[in-house]
Amino acid sequence: MGPGGACWRGGGAGARRWLSSRAPAPRVCVVGSGPAGFYTAQHLLKHHDLAQVDIYEKLPVPFGLVRFGVAPDHPEVKSYGAEDNRILGIPGENLPGVYSARAFVGWYNGLPENRDLNPDLSCETALILGHGNVALDIARILLSPLDLLRKTDITDCSLAALACSKVKRVWLAGRRGPLQVAFTIKELREMINLPGTQPVLNPADFTGLENAVKDAPRPRKRLTELMIKTALQKPGEMAAQAAAARQWGLKFQRSPQEVLPTADGRQARGVRMALTRLEGSGESAKAIPTGDVEELECGLVLSSIGYRSLPLDPAVPFDTQRGIIPNSMGRVEGAPGLYCSGWVKRGPTGVIITTMNDSFDTAQSVLEDLRGGMLDVSVSREGFGAVGSILRSRGVHPVSFSDWEKIDAAEVARGKAAGKPREKIVDPQEMLQLIGH
């Protein structure tokens, strides 16, 4: 199902037959080797002694966007995504200089499909549309000192491009206000303390918010207080801002209307933004255009407004409006024995702990169906034995986990030579040649 979710079929024994040596072992096929797939497999194997799980991945390397996560300098919190990104749906979004966050993140993290993105970093000002952790990650990568990035597993080609980057100012714009930002305090604090950069927050954006968050949940209260503190600081008060050559800032209540082209129509030169007002409060507040607009000059536009999953197969139900597989506790509606997990189950929200708990819930549904005899276990399934035969008959050579370990060892060795944790191989053909396929 791709890195943003997992989909599988289960088949196995009912509770009354679990302890019988004659009972066939439940065979479970997981499609997608991202966090959702692995967490589900982990829960099944932990709570069912006979379960056998096969995990399938479209790439020659496992772990989905744990490997191709949001930021190479955050290896401990590698994030994940879905197969596609949400479009802005505005004129000019296909102009050169406009990129989706998913493609940009994939480019600097070595996702094979994005290795040739070659983003144009020749402008001084970049605009990121979105107020989530992915938006902050991209801003941090654009503005980070190269010495910090060289110690990560960022790809060589993206490091070389960033070394030549002219970007020195990054704005992050969102439709709603400070009380609705989706990033977390850890990521904000890291951005505020980024060496050689100066945060630019307008104190007027935070008027009256100290009282508004007094009774808010603690994470929201602390996050807002940090933004207020940063907005009120005088330039140069923080060590990170000493002789700051670069800036970043947050813009609120601005909704993109159009990406504006240069005179020759060949490049983005800015974005026309509709100013908005908020109706309602808290998480449910809606952004309503006021009728006023402004233009923000920028040569690089990155859309970080969310991800969306894609249909797996015509035989698998899919809600195109919500971008999910219709399900109840992970059970796919109208398809007994088929389950889903991750973003394709609930939509592109939450962090990795959310996906872990969500995956455990789906695995629990599988276990309950096994115990209740809901899955047909009358015939023993071959699992990968059968799939492997089909692949061989088609001339397809699957990459095994031991093959991946060879790729892993090669990447780590290349990284060690360069003083990095690893140097990712970004060309699938090179991966296959390395393992003799």
Contacts 24+ apart (CB under 8 A), 220-226: 220/179, 222/185, 223/181, 223/183, 223/184, 223/185, 223/188, 224/178, 224/179, 226/185, 226/188, 226/189, 226/192
Yes or no: say if 4 and 309 are a contact pair by the CB < 8 Å rule.
Answer: yes
Q: Both tokens of residue 146?
A: 């190269």
Which are the contacts of 421, defined by CB distance < 8 A and separation ≥ 6?
75, 152, 153, 412, 415
Phi-psi region of 178 (alpha: psi -120 to 50; beta: other; left: phi over 0): alpha
142, 219 contact by CB (below 8 A) = no
Phi, psi torsion values for 306, nearest 5 degrees: 120, 165
CA distance 247 to 270: 18
pLDDT tens digits in sequence order for the chain, 437 residues long: 333 566 655 554 333 334 444 556 889 999 999 889 999 999 999 999 889 999 999 999 988 767 776 466 665 444 734 445 567 788 899 999 999 998 999 999 999 999 999 999 999 999 999 999 889 999 999 999 999 999 999 999 999 999 999 999 999 999 999 999 999 999 999 999 999 999 999 999 999 898 888 888 999 999 999 999 999 987 656 555 556 789 999 999 999 999 999 999 999 999 999 999 999 888 889 999 999 999 999 999 999 876 667 777 888 888 888 888 999 999 999 899 999 998 889 887 767 788 889 999 999 999 999 989 898 877 778 889 899 999 999 999 999 999 999 999 999 999 999 899 999 999 999 999 999 88
Residues sharing a CB contact under 8 Å with residue 103, sequence separation 6 or more, in sequence order? 85, 114, 117
Torsion-angle region of residue 196: left (phi > 0), alpha (psi -120 to 50) or beta? left
Nearest to 133, CA basis, from 298, 354, 300: 354
Phi, psi angles (nearest 5°) of residue 228: -65, -45
Query: Which two three-digit tokens encode residue 426?
Result: 């970004």
Domain boundaries, the chain: 5-64+312-398, 87-305
E strand residue ranges, 188-304: 197-200, 246-251, 254-261, 268-279, 286-297, 300-303
Q: Is 291 exposed, middle or buried (0-12, 13-18, 19+ CB in 10 A)?
A: exposed
CA angle 332, 334, 335 (to 5 degrees): 60
- Residue with the two structure tokens 């997608």: 32
Q: 65 in helix, strand or coil?
A: helix
Residues 1 and 366 sit within 8 Å (Cβ to Cβ): no
Residues 6+ apart with CB under 8 A from 321: none
**343 to 45, 81, 276: CA distances (angstroms):** 22, 8, 29
Which sign, positive or negative, has the C-alpha torsion 240, 128, 132, 173? Answer: positive
**CA 277 to CA 260: how far, in whole Å?**
23
Query: 42: which DSSP letter?
Result: H
What is the CATH code for 5-64+312-398?
3.40.50.720
The DSSP code for 37 is H
Q: What distance in Å separates the CA atoms of residue 153 and residue 411, rounded to the nearest whole number?
A: 10
End-to-end CA distance of the chain: 24
pLDDT value at residue 315? 84
In DSSP terms, 31 is beta-bridged to 7, 56
What's the CATH fold of domain 87-305? Answer: FAD/NAD(P)-binding domain (3.50.50)
Closest CA to 55 of 289, 420, 398: 398
- pLDDT at position 14 is 34
Amino acid 17: pLDDT: 36
The span from the CA of 299 to the CA of 412, in Å, is: 36
- One-letter amino acid identity for 84? D
